[in-house]
Amino acid sequence: MFSLTERELTTHMDTGQPTFLQRLAASGIDDLNLPPEMPDINDYITAAVRGGFPEVAYRDRSESSRSIWLTSYLDDLITRDAAMLDSTKDPAKLRHYLGVLALNNAGMPADATLYRAAGINARTAAAYDQLLRNLYVLDIVPAWANGRLNRLVKTGKRYMVDSGLAAAAANLTTEIILDDSDLVGRFFDAFATAQIRPEAGLVHPRPALHHLRTAAGRQEIDLVIELGATRVVGIEFKAGSAPTADDAKHLSWLRDELGQGFTAGAVLHSGPGIYPLGDRIYAIPLCALWG
């Protein structure tokens, strides 16, 4: 099970209603709603650091209290749950590796970058990756493959499934993240993906989530979502509050490459505005997912 989404926490869930992805694909921004109170980037990062575990999401805890709970959960995860699956793993090294992953959340660092930073070898890092995936802590969004597009990078994009757990693993607070633009972008991306991932499970047939990056990073799209065999939705995450057409240039490139196979594109951002950025591409506040 995934951690709770903001839609579950703030609204009455009706699984019979179309999801955000279905509404976006069917009618662009026409059927999207925004909540009465619009969050800003501080609110989004605060929610990301809180995460979606019921013990922290449903209780009125201070940030320090939430951090204590999440850190205790991590300790149990590493010393008990991981040991039950593989007693040969070194808890201290695994904990350190998890912290390195958390700092690179929502990224595609080279494997060597991760295992060198954690002080382990490649074989151990690969085993840790599999163990953390088996524990449903780590999710790797695969690279998209398409015969019409050339030179696509095949490396998956690593996410810790819960952004609050990632913050605890890296010993990050809301203030620390907000003071670092790279961390802001990573945690906005991770928090947004945590909202979309479980929603995709409500759609039948189930959409396939990928990311896209071409060689040298000339084009990069955070999520490429296949809604069936011939319909593609592209999503970019921008922590800024007023994206422009330039922020959607990679989505425009994908639209032009795929033609009618490109159903819709969205730049999900932290501001209040919902508006078109081009043909079938829109700027949409992230909170539209639970509005």
> What digits encode the pLDDT tens for the residues 229-257?
779 999 999 999 999 999 999 999 999 99
Q: In the prediction, which pLDDT does 85 show?
A: 79
Amino acid sitting at position 248: A
DSSP string, the chain: -PPPPHHHHHS---TTSPPHHHHHHHHTTTT----SS---HHHHHHHHHH-S-HHHHSS---HHHHHHHHHHHHHHIIIIIHHHH-TTS-HHHHHHHHHHHHHTTTB---HHHHHHHHT--HHHHHHHHHHHHHTTSEEEEPBP--TTS-SB----EEEES-HHHHHHHTT--HHHHHT-HHHHHHHHHHHHHHHHHHHHTTSSSPPEEEEEEBGGGSSEEEEEEESSSS-EEEEEE--SSS--GGGGHHHHHHHHHHGGGEEEEEEEESSS--EEEETTEEEEEGGGG--
Token duo for residue 69: 């709970």
Q: In the prediction, which pLDDT does 13 show?
A: 59
β pairing state of 157-160 and 208-213: unpaired
Q: In the prediction, which pLDDT does 248 show?
A: 97
β pairing state of 208-213 and 232-237: unpaired
Q: In the prediction, which pLDDT does 14 show?
A: 61
- Residue from 27, 31, 24, 21 nearest 201 by CA: 21
Q: In the prediction, which pLDDT does 12 show?
A: 62
Q: Compare 216 and 269 and report the one with higher pLDDT.
A: 269
Q: In the prediction, which pLDDT does 271 show?
A: 97
Highest mean pLDDT among 13-17, 65-69, 176-180 belongs to: 176-180
Answer yes or no: is pLDDT of 15 > 70. Answer: no
Domain ranges for the chain, please list them. Answer: 6-289
Q: In the prediction, which pLDDT does 145 show?
A: 85
Q: Compare 259 and 146 and report the one with higher pLDDT.
A: 259
Average pLDDT, the chain: 92
Q: In the prediction, which pLDDT does 146 show?
A: 79
Q: In the prediction, which pLDDT does 82 show?
A: 85
Q: In the prediction, which pLDDT does 18 show?
A: 85
* Cα(5)–Cα(74) distance, integer angstroms: 20
Lowest-pLDDT range, 93-97, 172-176, 201-205, 248-252?
Answer: 201-205
- Residue from 242, 114, 102 nearest 172 by CA: 102
Q: In the prediction, which pLDDT does 81 show?
A: 87
Q: Compare 289 and 87 and report the one with higher pLDDT.
A: 289
Token duo for residue 247: 């922020």
Q: Percent of the chain beyond pLDDT 90?
A: 74
Q: Average pLDDT, stretch 43-56?
A: 95
For 192-204, write each residue's pLDDT tens digit: 999 999 888 888 7
Q: In the prediction, which pLDDT does 289 show?
A: 94
Band (pLDDT 50/70/90 cuts) for residue 33 is very high
